[in-house]
Structure formats: C-alpha cells, structure tokens
Amino acid sequence: MKFKDQFRTGWRNLSRQKLRTTLTIFAIVIGAVSVTVMLSLVTSAKGFLMSSFEKTGEDRRVIVTPVTGLSYGDARWQTWSDGTGKKIDDAAITALAAVPGVTSVTPIVGAQYYDSARSATTEVSISNSFMLGYLANGSVMRDVTHGRALEASDDSGGVLVSRSIVENLGFKDNLEGAIGQKIRLKPRKDFSEMMKDVEVTIVGIMFADGDAIDMTLKFALDTSPVFERCDGGGPNTQPTCTKESDVLRNGYPAAYINIENKDNADVIVDEVKKLGYGGAAGQEEINSQSQAFTILGAVLGGIGGIALLVAAIGVINTMVMATLERTREIGIMRATGATKSTVRSLFTVEAGVLGFMGGLFGIVLSFGVAILLNGVLNQQLEDGGISERNIITIPPQISIIVILVTTLIGMVAGRLPARRAANLDPVEALRYE
C-alpha cells in the first residue's frame, strides 16, 4: 500500500471519530504549547542575557583585582580598595596592557561621594546610586539607550546616568530632553568639608539595573576627596603629613581588561595571575549563567514533557479503542490483501497524524500565547523603564523540533495498538461482532 494511501486512509479514519480525535489532538496541543512556550521563554531569556553581555563587552572582559580568588561576579563589586593585595597602580596598568591579546586596560574606581543631584527644577537623592569612574577608552561599554557613551573628552564633566535617575529629575516623558542638561552633584555630608558641589552634563542614558552614574576616571579622581595622612615621625618625632586620595594610596580597586579574542580569556587570566593579581573572565560568568539557563530549560521542558507524556497515553487510549472498534474492518482488509505490516503502518500513520496535528496546532497556539504574553510583558518592561522588547520569540527550529517530536511521540504511542491490530488473526477478526 502506498504511503499516500495510508495517509489518506488514516486521515479519513480519524475524521470518522471527530470528537475523540479532537480531544486527543487537544491533549497533544497542550503538551506542545507548554514545551514550546517554556523552551522559547528560556531560549529568549538566554539570548537576551547573552546579547546584553555582548553589548557591554563582558564576553571579552577580564577583571583584575588586587586580591586573588574572586569570582567574576564578586570582582565586579570591587570598586573600593583598602590596600590589601597587590597594588594596582599606573605601572601595573602599563604592564597589563603589554600582555599579548589585551586590547585595552581600564582602571576603575567607585565614586560614591555624592548624595543628591539637582536639575534646574528638581533635586533627587542619589545616595544609593552605584557610581563608577573609568577611562572612557571603550573597554567598559554600556548599553546606551539615549545620547552616547562616555568619551575621553568628557573629562570636563560628562556623565552617563541610568534612566530612573533621569526620570526622577523630571524627564519621564522626554528622555531625549535630558541629554545635554546640566546637573549639580552635591557631596555626602561626611565629605562636604573636603569637597564642593560639581556641575556635570548628562551625555547619555544607559540601560542599567537600579540607579547608576558613570563618569570618566580623571573626572572621578579630580572630584574625589583628598585625605590628610600622617606617617611615622621625623627626626624630631614630628609626623610627616601628606594629602592624598585613597585611590593614589591604595591603588585602583580594579582594572577591566578588554581582550581581543573571547576564546583566549583563560590564557589572559593566567597571565594576570602570573603578575600577582587576581583575575576573573566575564566568559566564566556567561558560561555559568548559560549553564543555569540550560538547566532551567531542561527542567521547564521536562515539565512540558510530562504534559506530552500524558498526551501520549491519550494517543495509546484512542488507538486501542480504534483497533477494538475496527477489528472487523481489519479482518476485511486482511482478507482483501493487507499484510500485517500494512495494518501496522496504517495505525502507526494514524497515530502519527494525531501527533503531527497536535504539534502543528500547538505551535500555532504557542505563537498566539507568545503574542499575548509579549503584549503584557512589554507593557511591564516599558513601565519598568526598559524599552519595548519581545521577551518570548519562538525560534523556527523549536517549532520544527516540537512538530517532529509530537509526530514521533504519536507514532511511538501508536506502535503498541498498531502491533495488536496487525497480529489479529484474520479469521477471528472477520467473525468479530
């Protein structure tokens, strides 16, 4: 029997029991939708994360710290040095820049000296803001949504601020309008005697978690408080007092290395360690997060898989019923020349059609669910200050795989009833009432 005829016969037999067929397909649809949506959600979230890593250059970054043994995640928080570990000074920066494969080295300092920012009309508290100073040479990239990234010329006082600060400054409905605006940063109370207000210009708005202000390193050092430090004693036991900043005394808390080839990160980290510093690659963090997403995907996919398993039992049930109801038909087919293998394929194809239809409708419905969820999520993201993104996108390969898998599940589930049908004794089957 030709495959085309088997398919046609299978389709026809299924349409004889419309309600049962619809319900069986519906069960597969539920399984297919749950697998598709969950896998797509994880894949999309993973892609979103990976692209943000790429946008900020973290896939090609190694963080150098004075102390050794920090993970990348912890190294990111090294914005202040208390002098422990090996001092990262300008000579160290030069030495790190000389490591083959390194394209740039950027020292980083925290600049938590201010507690409020004032525009022409509004004053907002920035005491909980994450403030960072770095060289604007490109090795610390930001996902800039409006305006531009920091440039070397911003030493004169340009800053990059996160969207929430801009909104609080009164630019909620006119983010673009904030670019070029001057704001005054007011020092914290404990620094107010050592520091004065400083006027800076907003050059760009960055996509960042929470409140954050980025400024160039020179500007950060210029505006940092200078402490008086007195050491030991001279010949007449008079202490020698000098004025210097924390940074100059203890070195930079961290340096970001930008590397040429992301696959080379391990080698660079080793080189950094040879120089006596701690080193951690962004790739490490990306790998561990990527792995976490893979595990999450497997778990969520597994939950969806359970729905598919239940659907498979539905297929078995439907096909067992079909073989029982059609015992006599099977006998007639056998009498008129159907081989065992023809009967087996007929029922297997029929079960496969159930799986295929379930997968197909499941994918169609998944697209609907994705559109619906994206609508809701986009609104939430928009409200949260993140420009509109479609979080759930169903990759074409997932669609194809889901349809193939449901078809296969149908065929495997139909295998047992199909064998039962094929092995019926034709004489007995013809007598079946």
Partner 1 sequence: MALIQCTNLKKVYTVGGEEVRALDGVSLSVEAGDFIAICGPSGSGKSTLANVIGGLDQPDSGSVVVEGMDLAEAKDKQLSEYRNKHIGFVFQSFNLQAHESALENVISPLVLGGVGKKKERVEKGMAALARVGLTDRAKHKPTELSGGQRQRVAIARALVNEPSLIIADEPTGNLDSSRGADVMKELERLNDEGITLLVITHDPTVASRAKRVIEIKDGKITEKAGAR
* 337 scored as a contact of partner 1 (CB under 8 A): yes
Q: Which of 320, 329, 408, 419 binds partner 1 (CB under 8 A)?
A: 329
Beta bridge partners of 204: 147, 160
Exposure class string for 267-285: b at 16+ Cβ within 10 A, else e? bbbebbeeeebbbbbbbbb
* 301 scored as a contact of partner 1 (CB under 8 A): no
* 313 scored as a contact of partner 1 (CB under 8 A): no
* 332 scored as a contact of partner 1 (CB under 8 A): yes
Nearer to partner 1 among residue 12 and residue 196 (C-beta): 12
Nearer to partner 1 among residue 61 and residue 420 (C-beta): 420
Give the integer Cα–Cα distance in Å for 122 and 169.
Answer: 6
Residue 38 identity (one-letter amino acid): M
**Tokens for 33?**
């939708």
Nearer to partner 1 among residue 77 and residue 432 (C-beta): 432
Give the integer Cα–Cα distance in Å for 376 and 374.
Answer: 5
Distance, C-alpha 281 to centroid of its chain: 18
Nearer to partner 1 among residue 287 and residue 341 (C-beta): 341
> x-or-dash pattern for partner 1, window 388-427, by CB under 8 A?
--------------------------------------xx
Q: Which of 295, 299, 335, 371 binds partner 1 (CB under 8 A)?
A: 335
Distance, C-alpha 9 to centroid of its chain: 47
Beta bridge partners of 280: 63
Least distance (Å) between residue 321 CB and partner 1 = 16
Nearer to partner 1 among residue 143 and residue 428 (C-beta): 428
Q: Which of 174, 236, 336, 397 binds partner 1 (CB under 8 A)?
A: 336
Of 21-29, 136-144, 288-296, 328-336: span binding partner 1 (CB under 8 A): 328-336
Beta bridge partners of 254: 108
* 222 scored as a contact of partner 1 (CB under 8 A): no
What torsion do the CA atoms of 415, 419, 422, 425 make, to the nearest 10 degrees?
-160
* 372 scored as a contact of partner 1 (CB under 8 A): no
For β-strands 144-147 and 240-244, DSSP reports them as: unpaired
- E strand intervals along 265-407: 278-281
For residues 251 and 87, is the Cβ–Cβ distance under 8 A?
A: yes
Least distance (Å) between residue 346 CB and partner 1 = 10
What torsion do the CA atoms of 263, 267, 271, 274 make, to the nearest 10 degrees?
140
Least distance (Å) between residue 427 CB and partner 1 = 5
Give the integer Cα–Cα distance in Å for 362 and 347.
Answer: 22
For residues 46 and 296, is the Cβ–Cβ distance under 8 A?
A: no
Q: Which of 240, 287, 341, 379 binds partner 1 (CB under 8 A)?
A: 341
Instruction: Give 258-297 as a DSSP string.
Output: EES-GGGHHHHHHHHHHTT-EEEEHHHHHHHHHHHHHHHH
Q: Which of 328, 390, 401, 412 binds partner 1 (CB under 8 A)?
A: 328
* 334 scored as a contact of partner 1 (CB under 8 A): yes
Vertex 195 angle, CA 192 and 196, to 5°: 95
Nearer to partner 1 among residue 125 and residue 339 (C-beta): 339
* Residue among 226, 212, 209 nearest 129 (CA): 212
Distance, C-alpha 241 to centroid of its chain: 51
* 325 scored as a contact of partner 1 (CB under 8 A): no
Nearer to partner 1 among residue 2 and residue 189 (C-beta): 2
Least distance (Å) between residue 316 CB and partner 1 = 23
Give the integer Cα–Cα distance in Å for 210 and 220.
Answer: 20
* 236 scored as a contact of partner 1 (CB under 8 A): no
How many residues form the binding site for partner 1 (CB under 8 A)?
A: 23
Q: Which of 339, 379, 380, 387 binds partner 1 (CB under 8 A)?
A: 339
Q: Which of 41, 160, 333, 424 binds partner 1 (CB under 8 A)?
A: 333
What SS3 class is residue 425?
coil
Vertex 188 angle, CA 186 and 193, to 5°: 90
Burial class of residue 426 (count of CB atoms within 10 Å of its CB; 0-12, 13-18, 19+): middle
Least distance (Å) between residue 360 CB and partner 1 = 25
> x-or-dash pattern for partner 1, window 2-41, by CB under 8 A?
x--x---x--x---x-------------------------
Q: Which of 262, 340, 415, 419 binds partner 1 (CB under 8 A)?
A: 340
Of 149-157, 270-278, 289-297, 324-332: span binding partner 1 (CB under 8 A): 324-332
What does the binding site for partner 1 look like in residue numbers (CB under 8 A)?
Answer: 1-2, 5, 9, 12, 16, 328-329, 331-342, 426-427, 430
